[in-house]
Copies of this chain bind each other. A is one copy, B any other.
Amino acid sequence: MAEIAYETALIVGVGGGLSASLARLFKKAGMTVALAARRAPELAPLAREVGGSAFACDASNHAEVVKLFADVEATVGAPDVVVYNASYRTRGPVIELVPAEVEKAISVSAFGGFLVAQEAVKRMLPQKHGAILFTGASASVKGYAQSAPFAMGKFALRGLAQSLARELSPQGIHVAHVVVDGGIRSAARTVPSDKPDSLLDPDAIAQSYLSLLQQHRSAWAWEIELRPWVERF
């Protein structure tokens, strides 16, 4: 495995299979791993497995994010890799959507990304070193019918990532956005036996996150789009 220049990773929005795959692969690559999610107890088994720490945090709440970074810093040191993986969606015909739910979709999917990035950058900027990775979805680049709230959140997160890439790359901070274009394989969502590998394997996605961290600064990608070989696009 190519060496990577990072030591401590914080993964925010742990829950699905992707965060677990990232935690395991980052650990394998030699990094110390911290995990954050709204419900910390659920993180305990994974934290134990990767020898890492787990923190409770609502990423859309400013005070909680500030506290998260202070706690992570005190526990394992300031992270030089931060992954923002949280999102929330609500869907349906536009006239049936509940405004408070729409607000939450934007807040968790995008505003939380800003809060987490801001705290991360405060610690990376003095070192002129670090990486911030945002997890996107098909909805990051395509607004689907009956899914305006998720499109709003994911488009906004992509705008944040692109703006930060322009601002921070010349400061030595690698900002990247990964468009996960397809369903992710999980315990709840298994691959049909007649369509092998038709859902994204979270370990395979994590591999591309690691590849981004292995890139030399003379040839950084700010975005990469991943989809199963048989996915229509």
- Residues of chain A touching chain B, judged by Cβ–Cβ distance below 8 Å, are 1-2, 62, 93-95, 97, 99, 102-103, 106-107, 110-111, 114-115, 117-118, 121-122, 125, 139, 142-149, 151-170, 172, 174, 185, 197-201, 203-205, 207-208, 211, 214-233
Contact = CB atoms under 8 A, between A and B. Distances in A.
Q: How many identical subunits does the complex contain?
A: 4
A197 B118 CA distance: 26
A117 to B, nearest CB: 7
A145 B158 contact: no
Nearest to A60: B103
Contact of A166 (B99, B143, B159, B174): B143
Contacts of A216: 197, 201, 203-204, 207
B151 A160 contact: yes
Contacts of A99: 62, 114-115, 118
B174 A162 contact: no
Contact of A156 (B1, B118, B147, B153): B153
Contact of A111 (B93, B102, B158, B230): B102
Contacts of A232: 166
